Structure 1
């Protein structure tokens, strides 16, 4: 494992996997949109304090719209209004499939092994969802997967040489007022859980996205996207460790299939 991008993906899986049980704990007491803009706000401050500046321009704005605003809004709205939030959440992991589609449209040859590995990985995730009832919330979450895929390819093609810290500082600062503007008049919030929100902001939004963009730089959009499929696997592990909730048999089998698909894709030279 000479390429540090693989190490970044493992830590990314752990960190983003951890956000599932933490969000599950606080979502009962704090509105999803409050969780979203708090994460973005903390990440914006965190990155600015480290970088003492921003990297901004038209390309950076487009990147922020795709990777932060559209992705997080579609996902949070979709999960919150869906009658099947588990399936809605899984829709974000259609992202590697759409990355391949976009790359092929742009003229990149994608090998059969890449496609097979990602399809196997996504099939494992889909298997772990016990219900397959589609509704508008699921379809909205699917748009989140599409926007994330578009953002991944866009970053790889236009901002690969960007300063990751200054870029993330700008993206989150740019996204914050937009997400604040769509906060509903009615929301619920419990102040005693704010420390978990701070932890989510630093880990999931700041450290997580830094690792994500670094992985794209080192591995390319297809391999990095395939690697992101390990997040649900770590989510089951972290949920068990923190909440004591055992994964069911479908989740275990699905995780094994997902890991096999990820291995197939990441082992390609």
Structure 2
């Protein structure tokens, strides 16, 4: 695949991830966040299997089960549940801005828990990113605190924790197989939580509109986008790709304006800019430290 096709693949990936936020906001009009997560996990698992089947190694050793289960809880069940719950009380665009502080948080966690060295770019990225969060939280306190902000931040911290756990304790499975089992191990817990939150057979009777929305989230927004992410990471390195992930919340703001008519506040835009700068410098600092070589994520 040539560089021009890789650029198109990257554009598809960031658009797919960005549009997830307003689409989830719409889906929450038709169901609760717990049922929505169950269906996202179910549909994503099916289509990840279809797309990655030739590359999957489905035989598990008993030593793989616990690490994969923990990874599944952090990278799928808990952080996605927090994301969906957050969107019930704050805008889709604000949720995406806060969630995408995860590259900055994971960089800080890598320094603390993995003993990774930092340089001026990483220091600048972390400082700028947290300044963006401070702007968002300060504005929230002034206009009326919304719990979704804390919930979304907890989601970002959980996602970052999953990244650090993978870097330190990951199994020897390849990323395609690891991702498949992440969703696989999350399926039953997601169903149990949905059943407790909504003890009714109606959770198995989604409306056609809801099914359509979940397909958008699960196929381009998860399975295909992850294929693109894997391909680009292997070819260009995690740090290079991560340095441009600020585009995701930026596009999410645009899509939320177009689809939901959600107009971000001035302070949210300032927060977005600062978080975007933080993501860029954090990833660039990591790339410079590793001489541009791919690092685990």
TM-score range, shorter chain: 0.7 to 0.9
> 1:128 Cα shift?
5.8
Indicate which of 66, 71, 82 corresponds to 1:63. Answer: 71
> 1:33 Cα shift?
1.8
Q: Superposed, which structure 2 residues align to 1:52-201 within 5 Å?
A: 52=53, 53=56, 54=58, 56=60, 57-58=64-65, 59-80=67-88, 82=89, 90-105=97-112, 106-124=114-132, 127=135, 130-132=139-141, 134=145, 138-159=149-170, 162-183=173-194, 184-185=197-198, 190-201=207-218
> 1:229 Cα shift?
3.6
Q: TM-score, normalised by structure 1?
A: 0.77
Moved more, 135-144 or 102-111: 135-144
RMSD: 3.7
Moved more, 194-203 or 124-133: 124-133
Cα deviation, 1:78-135, whole Å, max 9, x if unaligned, reads: 444x578876665433423431332122211121311312432454466467524556
User: Which of the two has higher C-alpha Rg?
Assistant: 2
Secondary structure of 1:77 counterpart:
helix
2:32, 2:11 → 1: CA distance? 29
Count the aligned residue pairs.
265
> 1:246 Cα shift?
4.8
Moved more, 114-123 or 27-36: 114-123
> 1:42 Cα shift?
0.9
Indicate which of 203, 206, 209 corresponds to 2:220. Answer: 203
Cα deviation, 1:208-254, whole Å, max 9, x if unaligned, reads: 3444566666644x776654443221101222343455545444444
1:123, 1:211 → 2: CA distance? 31
Q: TM-score, normalised by structure 2?
A: 0.71
Distance 1:237 1:116, change over 3 A: same
Residue aligning to 1:238: 255
